[in-house]
A and B are shown apart, each in its own frame.
Chain A
Amino acid sequence: DTAVSQTPKYLVTQMGNDKSIKCEQNLGHDTMYWYKQDSKKFLKIMFSYNNKELIINETVPNRFSPKSPDKAHLNLHINSLELGDSAVYFCASNPRGATGANVLTFGAGSRLTVL
C-alpha cells in the first residue's frame, strides 16, 4: 500500500493547456508539500499545507494553484502551461510541522512534459 501516491505518473500536454496532478498520503501526516525537480535536477519547494492550511508559498507563478480538500490530499493545478513548466513534480508528507525533526516521505513523482 503506497504511502504517498501521485497521479498521473506521466503527463504530456500542449502549451496553454490546464492540467492537474493529484496526491494522496495514507500515513496520517499533517503536513504535505509540492516540490519541483527541474532539468538541472534541483529539488525546490513550491508549496506546503498543514491540516489544509497553506503555510509555505514560495515564489511560484500564479498559474500554479495548490488545493488541499483534506489533510490526506494535496492537488496541484497548473493553468496556461508553458514550456518551462516541464519538470518532475514530487509530492511529500511530514508527520511533524513547525518544530521537531522533519523527515519527509516522497511520492514517486509526476513527470510533466509541455510541448
Chain B
Amino acid sequence: DQQVKQNSPSLSVQEGRISILNCDYTNSMFDYFLWYKKYPAEGPTFLISISSIKDKNEDGRFTVFLNKSAKHLSLHIVPSQPGDSAVYFCAASASGGWGKLQFGAGTQVVVTP
C-alpha cells in the first residue's frame, strides 16, 4: 500500500532550466513532507521540507509547494545544474509517528549540458 507516490520515474532537463518533480500522497494524517536527494552508492541526504501549515517553502534554488486539498506536493529546482543529477525521493510523516517516513519510489533527474 503505497501512501506516497512519485509517478515519474525519470526526468531529463537542460542545464539552466527548471526541474519540476511531483509527489502525491493518500494519507490525510501526514503533516510533514520532505525531499531527499540520493547519489549512487550514497545514502539519501535531506534537501528541503514543508509543514502542512504552509503551502510553500524556499531554500536557495529549491522550492517545495504543498497543495493539501489535492494531496500533492512538488519540488522546483531553478536553475538546474549538472550536480543536481540524482534520484529525488519524496517522503511524508505524521505527528506522533516517531519520525517514521513513508517514501515514494523516487525520480531520477538527469541534467544535460
Interface residues of A (CB under 8 A from B): 4, 31, 33, 40-45, 48, 50, 55-56, 90, 92, 94, 96-99, 101-109
Contact = CB atoms under 8 A, between A and B. Distances in A.
Interface residues of B, number: 25
Main secondary structure of the interface of B (DSSP, over half): loop
Interface of B: 2, 32, 34, 36, 41-46, 49, 51, 87, 89, 93, 95-101, 103, 105-106
A90 B111 CA distance: 26
Contact of A98 (B44, B98, B101): B98
A97 B93 CA distance: 12
A56 B41 contact: no
Residue of A31, A45, A107 with highest tally of chain B CB at under 10 A: A45
A43 B44 contact: yes
A90 B97 CA distance: 19
B99 A108 contact: no
B43 A90 contact: yes
Given A43-B44, A43-B89, A45-B100, 7 more contacts: A42-B105, A48-B98, A56-B100, A98-B96, A104-B99, A106-B43, A106-B45
